[in-house]
Every structure is written in structure tokens, then in C-alpha cells.
Amino acid sequence: MTDMTLETQLIENTFYEGERPLFACENMTLEKVRFYPGESALKHSKHVVARACEFLCKYPFWHSDNILLEDSVFTVYGRAAIWYTQNVVMRQCKVDAPKMFRKVSHVSVENTVFSSAGETFWWCDNITLDTVQLRGADYVFMHGEHIEINDMHMQGNYSFQEAKNVVIHNSHLESKDAFWESENVTVYDSVLDGEYLGWHSKNLRLVNCTIRGEQPFCYCENLVLENCVMSDDAELGFEYSSVEADIKSHVVSIKNPKSGYIRAKSVGEIILDEHRITPSECTIETEE
């Protein structure tokens, strides 16, 4: 992260525009600076602090290192703002631009709202998020690795596709097709709302979670549910999955699970048709 012991140049209450106005700058603090339309304003920069700044320009932080952003705004014109960069901290910011982070390593985001978060956090690693909102967030976190999240409210489909080594706490995800082909994901104390959850995942573990949406958990490998609740629309689940599930609610329907066990308060319908594989290798138990 940005080393505040470095002697820095202060620039405040001004504006820049056009191509590369602060290209390759180092050891700089920006306060109340506006970046008007243009491209690559701070490309290849190092050790930069930006406070109360406004970005209306494309690609401001590409190939940068050690960036601290506080109380700043990235407008809809500031798309694809932070790519190919490492060591970024973002606090109390407002982001209206899509495609915000891509191929970024070691990024921490706190108390920030993304109003149009589509295709954000692609191919990023070592991500920490705390108290964030992501709206319009289709395809976020694709191919991400080593992600830790607390208190996230996210609305957008196809999230976390092919993501690996993810831990999520106290969050609400409204996302169709979440966690497809993901690996080593653990979610605690959260609501997962959207159909086709977790298909083709490996080592997906949910603890104290609420699951909503049809056909969850198909083609999963080593799926674990601990003390979870499934809603009335979470039907036709577990098809062709290896699973260990302890569910404290009624389950509407279970279809052709592959192996392991499912324990639930009750089950409305168990479908074991001619297309099942490894018959009888998954046990289903109810309290009623």
C-alpha cells in the first residue's frame, strides 16, 4: 500500500484533461483534482494518493503501483479505470463506471458503492472487500482468486464464474448462475438469491445461509451445506452432485443426486428417474 513516509508533491484544487497529463508520476498527493475527458491520466504512476478527486477520463490508473483513493468519484465516463495495477486501496468512493478493476493484484475496497459494476474484478487476485454495494454487476469476479468479502450487497448475474479460493461473510447476492465452475468457495451467514446456483463447482461450502432460486447445486463436486435454509422456489436441486447437506428447512424437491447425503426437515418430492447415476449412493434423511 501507499507509503505515507515518502516525501510527496501536493497538487490541489485544479484540473487536467487530454492524454497522459500526469504520465509516470511518482510520490504525489492529489486533493480536489478533476480529470476531464481524456485517456491514461496517471498511467504508470507510483505512490499516488487521490482524495476528493473526480475522474471523467478513461483508463486513469493502468500499470500503476501503490495507489490510495479516498472520497473520490469515478463517473460513467471513467470506465476501465484500474487495470494491470497492484497495491490499491479504495475507501469511501462512488463508482459509476463499469469494468473498474481488471488484472489487479492486492486490492482493498471499503465503504464504496458501485452503481454499474458490470465486468468488474476480472482476473484479479488478493481482493478484500468490506461494506460494499455492487449494482448492475453482471459477470463480476470472473477468474478471481484469493478473495475475502464481508458485508456485500450485490445485484448482477453470472458472478464468481471460475473464481477460486473465495470467502464471503454476511452478504446478500442476487445473482443468477453464481459460482459456476468455481473452486474452494466458502460462504457464511448470507443470502444467495438466484437460480442455477453453483453448477459445476468444486468444494463449494455454505454455512448458515439461505438459498433461493430454482435448480440449485447441479453437477457439483464436494458440495457442503451446513445449517442452511432452502426457500420454496429452490426446487429440483442437487442433480448429479456429490453432496453433504444438513438443511434445517423443508426442501421442495431433490433430483438425481450422485453421492453423499442430504438431511432436511422434510422433502416434498424425491425424483430418482431413469437418468440417475450411481443409484442409492446418496442417502436422503428427513425429520418427519
Does residue 23 lie within any of the structural domains? Answer: yes
pLDDT (tens digit, 9 = 90+) per residue, 111-167? 999 999 999 999 999 999 999 999 999 999 999 999 999 999 999 999 999 999 999
Which is it for the CA torsion 170, 222, 254, 251, positive or negative?
negative
Residue % of the chain over a pLDDT of 90:
93
Q: How far is CA 162 from CA 22, 85, 202, 205, 253, in A?
A: 36, 21, 10, 15, 27
Based on the structure, what is the number of domains in the chain? 1
- CATH number for the domain that contains residue 37: 2.160.20.80
Mean pLDDT of the chain: 96
Question: Is 221 inside any structural domain?
Answer: no
| CB under 8 A, 24+ apart: contacts of 64-68 | 64/88, 66/1, 66/2, 66/3, 67/2, 68/1, 68/2
Q: Give the structural domain span for 35.
A: 1-97
Q: How confident is the model at residue 2 (pLDDT cuts 50, 70, 90)?
A: very low
Percent of the chain with pLDDT over 70: 97
Residue 177 lies inside a defined structural domain of this protein: no
CA atoms within 13 A on the CB side of 254: 25
In a domain, 142, yes or no: no
| Residue 15 resides in a domain | yes
- Model pLDDT, residue 6: 59
Q: What pLDDT score does 5 carry? A: 52
User: What are the pLDDT digits (tens) for 219-276?
Assistant: 999 999 999 999 999 999 999 999 999 999 999 999 999 999 999 999 999 999 988 8
SS3 72: coil
For the chain, the helix, strand and coil percentages under 3-state DSSP, each to the nearest 5: 0, 55, 45
122 DSSP 8-state letter: B
Residue 87 domain flag: yes
**HSE-up of 119 (CA within 13 Å, CB side)?**
9
Q: Note the pLDDT of residue 275.
A: 86
Residue 3 confidence (pLDDT) above 60: no
- Average pLDDT (49-54) is 98
User: Is residue 51, in this structure, part of any structural domain at all?
Assistant: yes
Q: Looking at the domain assignment, is residue 157 inside a domain? A: no
Average pLDDT over residues 90-99: 97
